[in-house]
Amino acid sequence: MQGIIANEVLRLSPEQRSLWESCRVPPRRVPILRYGSHEQVFVVAIRSGEAIYWEDVEEGFNISPLGSTGEILEHWCNQDELRWALNRWLEPNRHHGNLGPAEPLPEDR
């Protein structure tokens, strides 16, 4: 995880790096409910009740509100770079192309 973060931080703009330095946390595993299964992802930054976390299945960073016990409340499947996730905090009113949290596919396809 540290290597992934180190590579991502190299690509941050000065504004992104400043935000990163103010909200980063040591990577820690937290629970997430992924398609009905209790699993874990790595939270890498926290700000105002939201977290940037590493989604290991999609291999990208996502943003989600945190629950009262620190769990990820919204499972997203974005394959965002860290800088793109930080931009969502820097430009909260700008549409970033995400459609909504992940949902399981219907059984009858």
Full 3-state SS string of 20-74: HHHHEEEEEEEEEEECCEEEEEEEEEEECCEEEEEECCCCEEEEEEECCCCCECC
**How many structural domains comprise the chain?**
1
Q: Note whether residue 41 is domain-resident.
A: yes
Q: Is residue 107 a part of any domain in this protein?
A: no
pLDDT band for position 94 (50/70/90)? Answer: low
Please report the pLDDT score of residue 92 as a whole number: 73
What rounded mean pLDDT belongs to the chain? 87
13 falls within a domain? yes
pLDDT attached to residue 20: 97
As a whole number of Å, the CA-based R_g of the chain is 14
Domain of residue 12, residue span: 2-90
CA pair distance 49, 23, nearest whole angstrom: 11
pLDDT band at 108 (very low <50, low <70, confident <90, very high): low
